[in-house]
Chain A
């Protein structure tokens, strides 16, 4: 079973690489947001650097959300999902594999790219390591939760807005603890518990997401 799951992940990664699975668009989006935020807030360096961790997490969230609805849609439309549902691999493992592939191809790269972009917002360089750690730690949860939104809207033609409405409340805890984990000015006493909670949220998502995605997709496949 593990071999089959890994094969599925590899397939999705290969597909994403060949078609430009959304990372390109998401990266472009994050760059644009990073330019627009300072324009919106103003050139006050101190204010910008204070707001930087929160704004960057927001940019990361929204970029991942942008690619959420395509997670299952293509395979749903061309029938591959039907085949996977009938296969020997439990459907929950299938959805988990797809979410993991999304994480490897989209969320993880974005989580690595975003912190350096923070320098555009006068981010305090000493905050970079913590920001890297917290964003990478939170990126898996972002993919898993986005998968739920993607699965619930897989059969809908214009599901984009609904995905946002459903997934953003799910993202609130990740945002709160992610930003808290990124703030070096809270010191290790503040950011470490937040990091631990972030990991706990990720573990919870690992349980809930495959179940919810499989159940939702089965409703569409019937």
Chain B
């Protein structure tokens, strides 16, 4: 872990790995999309609309996973005070927020033909995902509101850590609320059982999305490091005048 802490070393490793990661991402997407759209069968009950699952579920998984990752980076930053950990959390946020947003939109598109409404508070997962988006926006707003980077990092860390605890409490609360207000029919997005070929396509897409996130995150981190160097160089320049 320590060897990745050095920015210069990180950049070297990242630059070597990136082309391979992009390549793997492209291949996985190609295979996954072919599976999702061509080879897998339509669902017995839902018909073709089940294909939305292949873009909805990976986005939702990633939306949640990235938030936990942000919490992890923030915890590491809190304990070791390393600026790279802060940068990792900061750069992960916009990516996670986009995945979260995608999960909500595709979820809504999946729900409309199934339930007849664009939105259903009755699905606990949709509700929790919406609140997760608010968490992301709040975290990003903290970075945007505070000019001084060290102070922004310190505050953002706290917001992320409190947020991670709260995500689980909210999930629990919404599930409970949902079970309380549930009608006779159980709204379940996945359907009763999942066909094996569908599972493969789903997993391929999930890994494809994850690789995509990894690639985008590494590039974002590289940008963030460059941005900091730029800021410091400019400050030195102003100081030298």
Listed in ascending order, the chain A residues whose CB lies under 8 Å from chain B are: 148, 152-153, 155-156, 159, 162, 165-166, 168-170, 172-173, 176-177, 180, 186, 190, 197, 201, 204, 208, 212, 215-216, 218-220, 222
How many residues of B are counted as interface, with CB atoms below 8 angstroms from the partner's CB atoms? 27
Q: Scoring B residues 129 to 173 as 1 if CB is less than 8 Å from chain A, else 0, what string do you get?
A: 001001101100110011000010011001101110110011011
- Interface flag for B115 (CB, 8 Å): no
Q: Do the beta carbons of A219 and B154 come within 8 Å of each other?
A: yes
Q: Do the beta carbons of A219 and B151 come within 8 Å of each other?
A: yes
Q: Do the beta carbons of A162 and B151 come within 8 Å of each other?
A: no
Instruction: Check A165/B137 contact, CB under 8 A, given A156-B145, A177-B173, A180-B177.
Output: yes
Cβ distance A220 to chain B, nearest Cβ, rounded Å: 7
Closest to A190 in B: B180
Q: Do the beta carbons of A165 and B141 come within 8 Å of each other?
A: yes
- Interface flag for B176 (CB, 8 Å): yes
- Interface flag for B174 (CB, 8 Å): yes
* Bound form: Cα–Cα A201–B170 in Å: 11
Cβ distance B163 to chain A, nearest Cβ, rounded Å: 8
* Bound form: Cα–Cα A187–B173 in Å: 19
Closest to A168 in B: B134
Q: Do the beta carbons of A159 and B145 come within 8 Å of each other?
A: yes
The secondary-structure label for the interface of chain B is helix
Q: Do the beta carbons of B131 and A170 come within 8 Å of each other?
A: no
Cβ distance A160 to chain B, nearest Cβ, rounded Å: 11
A208 — which chain B residues lie within 8 A by C-beta? 162, 165
A148 — which chain B residues lie within 8 A by C-beta? 162
Instruction: Check A176/B165 contact, CB under 8 A, given A165-B134, A165-B137.
Output: no
16 additional A-B pairs beyond A155-B146, A159-B145, A201-B169, beta carbons within 8 Å, are A152-B142, A152-B155, A152-B158, A155-B151, A165-B134, A169-B131, A169-B134, A172-B170, A173-B166, A173-B170, A177-B173, A177-B176, A180-B177, A212-B158, A216-B154, A220-B151
Q: Do the beta carbons of A176 and B154 come within 8 Å of each other?
A: no
* Bound form: Cα–Cα A169–B176 in Å: 16
* Bound form: Cα–Cα A222–B151 in Å: 9
Q: Do the beta carbons of B138 and A169 come within 8 Å of each other?
A: yes
* Bound form: Cα–Cα A168–B163 in Å: 11
A162 — which chain B residues lie within 8 A by C-beta? 138, 141-142, 145
Cβ distance B43 to chain A, nearest Cβ, rounded Å: 33
* Bound form: Cα–Cα A142–B158 in Å: 19
* Bound form: Cα–Cα A197–B177 in Å: 12
Q: Do the beta carbons of A180 and B180 come within 8 Å of each other?
A: yes
Closest to A151 in B: B158
Which of A177, A186, A219 is the one whose CB lies under 8 Å from B155?
Answer: A219
* Bound form: Cα–Cα A208–B161 in Å: 10
Cβ distance B95 to chain A, nearest Cβ, rounded Å: 19
A153 — which chain B residues lie within 8 A by C-beta? 145
**4 residue pairs, one from A and one from B, having the closest CB atoms:** A219-B154, A173-B173, A176-B173, A165-B138
